[in-house]
Amino acid sequence: MKTAICIKRVPDTEARIRVAGDGTSVDESGLKFVVSPYDEFAVEAALRLKDATGEGETVSISLGGSGAGEQLRATLAMGVDRAIRLDGEGSMDGLAVARALAAELKELGPDLVLCGMKAADDDQQQVGPMLAELLGMPCVTVVSSIEKEGDTLVCHREVEGGTEVVEVDLPAVVTVTKGEHEPRYPSLKGIMAAKKKPLEEKPAEGAESRVKVRRYSEPPPRPEGKVVGEGAEAVPELVRLLREEAKVL
Amino acid sequence: MAKVLAVVEQRDGTLKRVSEEVVSAARKVADGIGGEVDALIIGAAGIGDAAKSLGTFGADRVIAVEAEALSSYNPEGYAEALAERAKAEDYFAVLFAATASGRDLAPRVAAKLDVPMASEATELEVEDGELLITRPVYTGKLFAEVTLEGSPRVVTLRQNVFRPEENPRQATVETVSADVDPTAWKVRVREVRAGSGETLDVAEAPVVVSGGRGLRGPENWGLLEDLAGALGSRCALGASRAVVDAGWRPHGEQVGQTGKTVSPQLYFAVAISGAIQHLAGMRTASTIVAINKDADAPIFKVADYGIVGDAFEVVPRLTEEIRKLKG
């Protein structure tokens, strides 16, 4: 089985994000970049499927500038076999991103395409299902565990207040959430091996973003709150404020 | 005439409450462009009647796509049926709720229509005939104001943000049958587990009680369950990442980056210090209450009301007072 994992380079989730001077982009100076955490879950899911079946090839793909090579290497260190960087710029237009990825995936011909359920920067949950449409594959989103049964996958899907057990025929696109996919740390051996694994670079098939960002802004600061008091004695006053001032009880 | 399509949801034949939010938002957009609102519902025969009440919130017409095979959500069947309806008229925008199925469905429909989309909008405004969409990025650390170059504009709306507003009219109901072939579907739902329809998810609950590591262990969650119980059936439990990483609570309850983003009307952060990832996931709550031993905890910076104190003393008292109030 050939599994492709789509990954994205994003700022560390611990980082404070600032608007750049132009107002329509993010100030990247001093930011540390990581593999989007959800994409790490996808890598973990791919490696587990390979471990379980004992066969197959895993390929990680990213649309991005040269910096994204660092994140692709990180996936190789985790255990992915090879990587492809589509040289280009991502954007908030999920369909444009999906188009660039789909062009490469059509050539690659994977049995399974895994994506993180969303990117930790744009928070959109678009690319996976859009890719599936472009590739003519079925898609299961927000999956917490995957098992292979012949030519189908059995996926557990997190939905409001419960879990759906869904089966999907391969080839398919699956978007992954944490669930059982706590990502492994790369071993020293893995990191050394990653240096020798192939990382191919190709120009991305360009599709201009049709999502126009007019401006970024910081969220309005929340009005200064009040400490009602200390300990359990403060509770009656809190309840009064919630009822009479905030009107939420 | 330009129109707005509000895609509404049902569960087991009953209209989901979030539908009122979507229709209310659609009404505002339609008023901005001088158009009408169509509310689209998909389900088994008779589902149109369940949606007729949406006239109250500004729907001019309810379109019910009825087919036995579409009685519950299926991505392929729903996307097909929906894309067909969206093409049938000149829609300015197609609005979905950012629910599990809305998030699953909207990007497929956008791809089928070959139009860009915006996810998780928290504000919509029509300006000079263009739709300005405000949406959080970086889990709410920033907001982006975007426009979409394509028509219809496909947008999902964050839950609990767009308030239902009455704007009554007599909605007509139009029923269309869908020609679907379930045998061609490649995704099949085998079963739905756990309290679907009973337990409210943390992402959709209007009241959330979240616990952090300060609660010392999973055995102490009874404290929060009691408080949630006193607050009523529309309350859900949440948890900090530390708690989920420690295996005390399931990932489905995690609030913040790598977990869920919530915007309830009332949020209790109990023994949660307030790491940046957590704050990002809940800062759009209308009212935030923090209970923490540490007066310097960052959670107090975003809280509207705080009590500095031991959760083990404060929470039981709070539960008792709320029980008295709800008597």
The pLDDT of residue A178 is 87
| Phi and psi angles of residue A214, each rounded to the nearest 5 degrees, phi first | -80, -45
Q: How many domains does chain B have?
A: 2
Per-residue pLDDT at B160: 86
Separation between Cα atoms, residue B256 and residue B248, nearest integer Å: 16
Indicate whether B226 and B319 sit together in one domain. yes
Chain A closest-CA separation from residue B144 CA (Å): 4
Nearest CA in chain A to B11: A160
| A 79-98: CB under 8 A from B | 92-96, 98
What pLDDT is recorded for position B192? 85
If asked whether residues B75 and B170 sit together in one domain, one would say yes
CATH number of residue B15's parent domain = 3.40.50.620
- Establish if B200 belongs to a structural domain: no
B176 and B215 inside one domain? no
Q: Which phi-psi region, left, alpha or beta, contains residue B281 (left: φ > 0; alpha: ψ -120 to 50)?
A: alpha
Residue in B with minimal Cα distance to A179: B251
Q: Which residue of B has its CA nearest to A92?
A: B118
Q: Which residues of chain A have pLDDT under 70?
A: 161
B176 phi and psi, to 5 degrees? -120, 145
Domain co-membership, B158 together with B212: no
Q: Residue A61: beta bridge partners? A: A6, A84
Length reported for chain A: 249
Q: Please, what is the average pLDDT of chain B?
A: 93
Element (H, E) at A230: strand A226-230
- Pure H helices in chain A: 37-53, 68-78, 94-108, 127-135, 188-194, 235-244
Q: Is the pLDDT of residue B197 over 50?
A: no
Cβ neighbour number for residue B222 with a 10 Å cutoff: 9
Give pLDDT, residue B196.
39
**Domain-located, residue B301:** yes
pLDDT digits (tens, 9 = 90+) for B40-54: 999 999 999 999 999
Same domain, B177 and B216: no
> To the nearest whole percent, how much of chain B has pLDDT over 90?
83
pLDDT at B265: 93
Query: Model confidence over B274-291: pLDDT tens digits?
Result: 998 899 889 889 999 999
Same domain, B47 and B161: yes
What pLDDT shows up at residue B257?
A: 80
Structure tokens at B131: 């739709």
Judge whether B42 lies within some domain. yes
In a domain, B97, yes or no: yes
Chain A residues touching B314 at Cβ < 8 A: 231-232, 234-235
Distance from CA of A119 to the nearest CA of B (A): 9
Tens of pLDDT, residues B167-189: 999 999 999 988 889 999 999 99
Whether B110 sits inside 8 A of A95 (CB atoms) is yes
Band (B199; pLDDT cuts 50, 70, 90): low
pLDDT, one tens digit per residue, over B91-144 is: 999 999 999 999 999 999 999 999 999 999 999 999 999 999 999 999 888 999
Q: In Å, how far are A233, B111, B172, B303 from B268, measured between CA atoms?
A: 18, 39, 42, 9
Q: B19 and B69 in one domain?
A: yes
Same domain, B174 and B213: no
Beta strands in chain B (DSSP E): 3-7, 10-11, 14-15, 36-43, 61-66, 91-97, 117-121, 123-127, 130-137, 142-148, 153-157, 172-177, 187-193, 207-211, 235-239, 266-270, 287-292, 305-308
- Between CA A228 and CA B118 the distance in angstroms is 40
Q: What are the structural domains, with CATH classification, of chain A? A: 2-203 (3.40.50.620)
Say if residue B17 is in the same domain as residue B158: yes
Residue B196 lies in a domain: no
- Quick one: B301 and B231 in the same domain? yes
Query: A51 CA to chain B: closest CA distance, Å?
Result: 24
pLDDT in tens, B213-222: 999 999 999 9
- A134 at interface of B, judged by CB pairs closer than 8 A: yes
**Could you give the CA distance from residue B80 to residue B91 in angstroms, rounded to a whole number?**
17
- Does residue B198 lie within any of the structural domains? no
- Domain membership of residue B193 (yes or no) is no
The DSSP call for residue A53 is H
Size of interface A-B (CB pairs under 8 A): 277
Chain A residues whose beta carbon lies within 8 Å of the beta carbon of residue B308: 227, 229-231
CA distance A245 to A236: 13
Q: Are residues B147 and B11 in the same domain?
A: yes
Are both B133 and B241 inside the same structural domain? no
Q: What percentage of chain A has pLDDT greater than the value 70?
A: 100
3-state secondary structure (DSSP) of residue A27: coil
**Which structural domain, as residue segments, surrounds residue B15?**
3-184
Contact assignment for A227 to B300 by CB distance below 8 Å: yes
| Confidence band, pLDDT 50/70/90 cuts, at residue B195 | low
What pLDDT, on the 0 to 100 scale, is given for residue B258?
80
Q: Report the chain A residue with the minimal C-alpha distance to residue B312.
A: A232
Residue B197 lies in a domain: no
Chain A interface, best mutation among B138, B310, B319, by max A CB count within 10 A: B138
Residue A112 forms contact with B (CB below 8 Å): no
* Residue A20 near chain B (CB below 8 Å): no
- Orientation of helix B311-326 relative to helix B222-231, angle to 10°: 20
Can you tell me the distance from the alpha carbon of A115 to that of A7, in angstroms, rounded to the nearest whole number? 7
Q: Kindly state whether A207 is in contact with chain B, defined as any CB-CB distance less than 8 angstroms.
A: no
B233: closest CA of chain A, how far (Å):
13
d(CA B23, CA B5) in angstroms, rounded, equals 9
Mutate to test the interface with A, among B307, B312, B326 (most CBs of A within 10 A): B307
CATH code (residue B268): 3.40.50.1220
Is A203 at the interface with chain B, CB within 8 A? no
Residue B156 has pLDDT above 80, yes or no: yes
